Amino acid sequence: MKKFLLLFLALSAVAFAGDDGESMIKAYSVVAAGVGLGLAALGGAIGMGHTTAATIAGTARNPGLGSKLMTTMFIALAMIEAQVIYTLVIALIALYANPFLG
């Protein structure tokens, strides 16, 4: 973990090596988009894993409710994935249509 942090700090020094404020805003936007997408993907994957595990456990306990549980699971997975897609949209806005640049 320490090696990863050291590598991240070394690469961020290259990203922040600009002279003017506009390049600094762009560099911070890139780092924020990367970190935000990583956290959103991690949270989405954990949520999807818990949802699927709960559906499998519910189907194993009561096989008669399997189809209802699967329908509910797919709706829940779509909502979880929507949150990750919203993060992607915000990251793309921060990268390509940056509202902080004048």
What is the mean pLDDT of the segment spanning 45-70? 95
Contacting residues for 72 by C-beta, under 8 A, at least 6 apart: 55
What is the mean pLDDT of the segment spanning 13-24? 68
Domains, in order of start, for the chain: 21-96 (1.20.20.10)
Instruction: Give residue 13's pLDDT.
Output: 67
Instruction: Give residue 16's pLDDT.
Output: 65
Helix (H, G, I), strand (E, B) or coil at 82: helix
Query: Average pLDDT, whole number, for the chain?
Result: 86
Q: Closest Cα partner for 75 from 39, 48, 41?
A: 48
Confidence of residue 18 (pLDDT cuts 50, 70, 90): low
Q: How far apart are CA 100 and CA 2, in angstroms?
A: 32
Q: How far apart are CA 42 and CA 90, in angstroms?
A: 17
